[in-house]
Amino acid sequence: MADRPASETPIGSNLPPLSLHVPEPRFRPGDPVDYSHLPIPPAGAQPRPDEGCPASDTAPLCTDLIRVLDENHRAVGPWDPRLDAETLRRMLRVMALTRAFDDRMYRGQRQGKTSFYMKCTGEEATSVASAFALADDDMVFPSYRQQGILIARGYPIVDMINQIYSNRADKLKGRQLPIMYSSREHNFFTISGNLATQYPQAAGWAMASAIKGDSRIASAWVGEGSSAEGDFHAAMTFATVYNAPVVFNVVNNQWAISSFSGFAGAERATFASRAVGYGMAGLRVDGNDPLAVYAAARWAANRARANMGPTLIEHFTYRAEGHSTSDDPGQYRSAQEREEWPLGDPIMRLKRHLIARGEWSVEQHTAMDTELVEHVKAATKEAEKNGVLGHGLHHPFRTMFEDVFEELPWHLQEQSEQAMRERRIKWPEWKES
Band (pLDDT 50/70/90 cuts) for residue 92 is very high
Coil, strand or helix: which one is 215? coil
Write the CB contacts of 195 (distance below 8 Å, at least 6 apart in sequence).
Answer: 143, 222, 223, 225, 226, 229, 231
* Closest to 165 measured CA to CA, from 404, 383, 401, 403: 383
Residue 323 CB-half CA count within 13 A: 18
Q: Is 184 a catalytic residue?
A: no
Name beta bridge partners: 220: 141, 248
Instruction: Give the pLDDT of residue 390.
Output: 83
pLDDT per position as a tens digit, 320-363: 999 999 999 999 999 999 999 999 999 999 999 999 999 999 99
Instruction: Give the pLDDT of residue 8.
Output: 59
Give the mean model confidence (pLDDT) for residues 184-210: 97
pLDDT per position as a tens digit, 277-290: 999 999 999 999 99
Band (pLDDT 50/70/90 cuts) for residue 1 is very low
The beta strands (E) that lie in 110-215 are given as 139-141
Selected catalytic residue, list 155, 242, 278, 332: 332
Alpha-carbon distance of 131 to 189, in angstroms, equals 14
Asked if residue 430 has pLDDT above 80, the reply is no
Asked if residue 433 has pLDDT above 60, the reply is no
Q: Is 332 a catalytic residue?
A: yes
Q: Are 270 and 284 in contact (CB under 8 A)?
A: yes
Selected catalytic residue, list 319, 333, 352, 365: 319
Asked if residue 62 has pLDDT above 80, the reply is yes
Instruction: Give the pLDDT of residue 400.
Output: 85
Alpha-carbon distance of 313 to 294, in angstroms, equals 11
Selected catalytic residue, list 315, 323, 333, 395: 323
Write the CB contacts of 266 (distance below 8 Å, at least 6 apart in sequence).
Answer: 224, 252, 260
Give the mean model confidence (pLDDT) for residues 241-255: 98
pTM, two decimals, is 0.94
Write the CB contacts of 52 (distance below 8 Å, at least 6 apart in sequence).
Answer: 303, 306, 308
Q: Is 375 a catalytic residue?
A: no
* Closest to 46 measured CA to CA, from 75, 66, 63: 66
pLDDT per position as a tens digit, 234-246: 999 999 999 999 9
